[in-house]
Structure 1
Amino acid sequence: MSDLKNRAVRLEATNHDGSLLGKTVSSTKFASGKNSGFAFADILFAIDLGNEIVLGDAFPDWRGNLYDIQMIPDLSTFVEWKPGLDSVIGDYWLKDGTPVPICPRNLVRKLVARLAVLGYTATVAVEIEATLFEESVQEARKLGYRDLTPLGGGTGATYHLARSKDWVDYMEAVVGRLDRLGIAWEAWTDEAAAGQTELNLPPTDPITLADSWARTRQVMREVAFEQDHTVTFMAKPTAGYGQGAHLNLSLQSDGVNRFFAEDGPSPLMRHAVGGLLATMAGNTSLALPQITSYRRLVDFTGPPTVVSWGENNKTAAVRAITGHPKYSRLEYRLPGADVNPYLALAGVLAGVLAGVEREIEPPGQVTDMAWCLPDSAGVPRIPDTMSKAAAALGADPLLREYLGDEFVDFWVASRRWEWMEFHTKGGDPFAELSQWESTRYFEFP
């Protein structure tokens, strides 16, 4: 940990919606509370993205009392964010010393520990997609986040090196900032939509990945602000292409990748696939958290649309990469760019654990294109609305076991509230993208 003299410290943690929340304290204040924690009002779990109090959720203790919970810093995450400011990520704890059951980071911790009991560690990586615009965030707000100018040119492409210097300058500044913070990255590239980029974070343990993912989004925002541009992780910021956050996962024991087998998926990989597919309908609510998330689910445009898996099949929801002792892994292609990093990983780890502990065998893999499969194929569609996905999560006994009833009930209630806000405050379900969605989601999470 760096010298705290004459330095402020920013305390960081996400809420359920994936927004990075926190407060900045003096070095003296941080020194006094770095072990015991810092008080946060638990109402932070009861405010929606429109700053309204959410009614009807299942996290009951705050009702009428606004109790404090403790944010206890994880000192292993302490970094110098910039001259004069350090930052540290933490978890939320109740005053009796137990973890807040709906704290996203604590959920991941719980599942990592359960995996360790089986003798496994998970290695995960993520592909972060975002869209960049020429306008500053102040200009974007005045325009209602509509009709913005894509940074780097108005045409979409993939892997092209023809982006203009402003787009390249932005990405180089982002990875330069990541380097200074010690956040590892693997690659960045132009993506399919105009102004869109993909930034890949390399394989690591789930907590480190989620922390790096949350901080990378913050870095990308801050660099955009500094360059008078704007960036969004909204699942579909325009009527064109959407954007996702593919997760890659493997399980190890004794330093060996247990997803590898000479002749294709190992039995452990097959069971992990079985669990991921068995929980996919319910997990959709976590992977696609907002109204706009479901506008991505269009055949032929990239995201999966059916509960499916296949070896090296990028049209399936779970892609199995096989045949290599190091790189054999599963790619979970469902999450949108707007997902909470911690909840995305919690849902995937829960599905994998369910499959491994119960030795769930997956259905037959899809060997052709998974998009536009007829009903006669017997492959179920992924829930395509927020209400369908929330109902599936509420009814999923496996996810209830691994994530906990209190979290599941809380999350389902929060999504029903979000659905009600959309349908009563100006959202248009028949629009390709409504103004209500742009206003609510463009800057968040």
Structure 2
Amino acid sequence: MSMKDWLRKHPEVRTIRVAAADLNGQARGKRVPARFAESVVKNGTRFPFSVLNLDIWGEDIDDSPLVFEQGDQDGVLKPTERGFMPMPWLEAPTALLPIWMFRENGQPYEGDPRHALNAVVQRYKERGLTPVVAMELEFFLIDDSGKTLQAPASPRSGKRRKAAETLSIRALDAFDSFFTDLYDACEAMDIPADTSTSETGLGQFEVNLMHCDDALRAADDAWLFKMLVKGLARRHGFAASFMAKPYPEYSGSGLHTHFSVIDQKGDNIFDSGGPKGTATLRHAVAGCLNAMHDSTLIFAPHQNSYNRLVPGKHAPTSIAWGFENRTAAVRIPAGNPAARRIEHRVAGGDVNPYLMLTAILGAALTGIEDAVEPPAPITGNAYAMDLPQIPADWEHAIDAFENSDILYRFFSKELIRNLVQTKRQELHYTAELTPEELVELYLDTV
């Protein structure tokens, strides 16, 4: 259905939101009366390049060349191929139109995270390859109305869960109306939500998004899903948060990514017919491991992210891989060889999905291109081994990202510079905040 046809089919929609993802994954855009929507579809809209490079508070980056040095120029924002979709968490019928940024001459703006992912996908395409991606998103449902965070009272029983309930059907049933609305909304927005489970944290759940042979669409789905879950939870009277670690005493929220790669015949190039996978799978793993240290800032982009990356708390801290081993940063799941894939387990729920997939798929492609071999897969507990480590704090991750040699192979210099400036500004100002103020900052934003 064309975008014009969608608007005609939904006369109840009075306003639209046009929105792009900034470097923090925040939706930035405008509210437009529906009668002007066709103009946006045809001509796009405009706002400054600097808007995709704001800090977590929505402030300009000090000394950014995008602001005064370049006269705070406008970019041209055009609809993505996704088109219009409803926003079921709002009271009034409203449509969302995802957009991405271009330069005046029609070239993609290199600082737009969606364009960063598209550039990597096109490099796969040039080799006759297509990544197939699935994601598992963990989040917490939280009552943030009091001085301390707690699990929301069950709408069914009025009781609060006092402990984690891993894979508890009772915990899912307690919020049945929320999850029913969530799945209905996912269907309306064409987000392929699959299984949901109760997780190890207090009020923590996970929803899987089904595998998709369009990595841009998979990132869109994750970005839209996060927006939807947070908005819908507020309609139900509580908060939903993807922040990496809202409770110090419980495991944090991850965003695990599974991916395989198919060739032009539709065959999985990781499938050897047996449990070990192909040489190409090993090369992709090696690429992921070789870039992991320097790209940690993408997987752990915020101050709070590093509270999750601690030994023995279900998040990886070592740079290693293994077969069917959840203590490793990169896991090769068992199962049917035709579905042989790589699971990348480093990212927190607080990531920008476009940048995360760029980092994972870009790193894997460098390994495939260079035909590098990984170290031997580990067996046993990675936390107890002497292995190379993921940066344990934000400042080191920013330095590693800025000074990396390998990341320039799949991130533009413009994006690297913009992200480093953003994170250094956030590092400076979050140092002044109490732990409670940090939670308040991240709870709804990430």
Query: TM-score if structure 1 supplies the norm length?
Result: 0.91
The separation in 1 between residues aligned to 2:442 and 2:296, in whole angstroms, is 18
| Contact residue 256 and residue 344 of structure 2 kept, 8 A | yes
Q: 2:312 aligns to what? A: 300
User: In structure 2, what is the equivalent of residue 125 of structure 1?
Assistant: 134
Unaligned runs of 5+ in 1: 428-433
Distance in 2 (CA, whole Å) between partners of 1:60 and 1:225 is 35
The residue aligned with 1:24 is: 31
CA shift, 1:314, in A, is 0.7
Task: Give the 5 Å matches for 1:204-283.
Answer: 204=212, 205-240=214-249, 241-253=251-263, 254-263=265-274, 264-283=276-295
- The reply on whether 1:65 has 2:66 as its aligned counterpart is no
Alignment deviations for residues 317-338 of structure 1 (CA, whole Å, 9 cap, x no partner) = 0001256233210000000000
Matched-pair contact (CA < 8 Å) for 1:12–1:90: yes
Establish whether residue 357 from structure 1 lines up as the match of residue 369 from structure 2. Answer: yes
Larger mean CA deviation between 245-254 and 317-326 belongs to 317-326
Deviations 1:230-279 (Å, cap 9, x if unpaired)? 11111111112211100001000111111111341211110100100000
Measure, in 2, the Cα distance between the counterparts of 1:309 and 1:194: 29
Instruction: State whether structure 2 residue 119 is matched by structure 1 residue 115.
Output: no
Q: CA deviation at 1:127?
A: 0.5
2:380 partner SS: coil
Q: Give the superposition deviation at 1:11.
A: 1.1
**3-state DSSP of counterpart to 1:315:** coil
Gap runs ≥5 in structure 2: 155-160
SS in 2 for 1:338: coil
Alignment check: 8 A CA contact 2:219 2:354 kept:
yes
Residue 411 of structure 1: how far off its partner (Å): 1.4
Please, what TM-score do these two structures have when normalized by structure 2?
0.91
8 Å Cα contact 2:165/2:171 also seen in 1: no
CA distance in 2, matches of 1:307, 1:233: 24
SS at match of 2:399: helix
In structure 2, distance between residues paired with 1:46 and 1:278 = 27
Q: Which residue of 1 aligns with 2:42?
A: 35
Match of 1:10 in 2: 17
**Distance in 2 separating the partners of 1:219 and 1:76:** 16
In the TM superposition, 1:367-382 aligns within 5 A as: 367-374=379-386, 379-382=387-390
Change in 2 beyond 3 A, CA 1:181/1:164: closer
Q: What is the CA-CA distance between 1:352 and the residue it aligns to?
A: 0.9
Give secondary structure in 2 for the equivalent of 1:222. helix
Aligned position for 1:421: 429
Aligned residues: 426
Going from structure 1 to structure 2, the CA distance change for 1:422 and 1:173 (only over 3 Å counts) comes to: same
Q: Supply the distance in 1 between the matched residues of 2:87 and 2:193 (Cα, whole angstroms).
A: 17
- Asked whether the 8 Å contact 2:116–2:412 carries over to 1, the reply is no
Deviations 1:201-254 (A, max 9, x none): 000121111111111112112221111111111111111221110000100011
1:409 corresponds to: 417
Equivalence for 1:310: 322
Answer yes or no: is the 8 Å Cα contact 1:151–1:195 preserved in 2: no
For the residues of structure 2 that align with 1:247 and 1:63, how far apart are their CA atoms? 38
SS at match of 1:99: coil
User: Distance between the aligned counterparts of 2:42 and 2:74, measured in 1?
Assistant: 17
% same residue:
26
From 159, 168, 173, give the equivalent of 2:176: 168
Displacement after TM superposition at 1:78 (Å): 2.2
Distance change in 2, residues 1:100/1:62 (3 Å): farther
Q: 1:149 to 1:364 in 2, by over 3 A?
A: same
Give the conservation status (yes or no) of the 8 Å contact 1:154–1:194: yes
Q: Is the 8 A contact 1:132 1:230 kept in 2?
A: yes
Name the aligned partner's letter for residue 184 of structure 1.
P
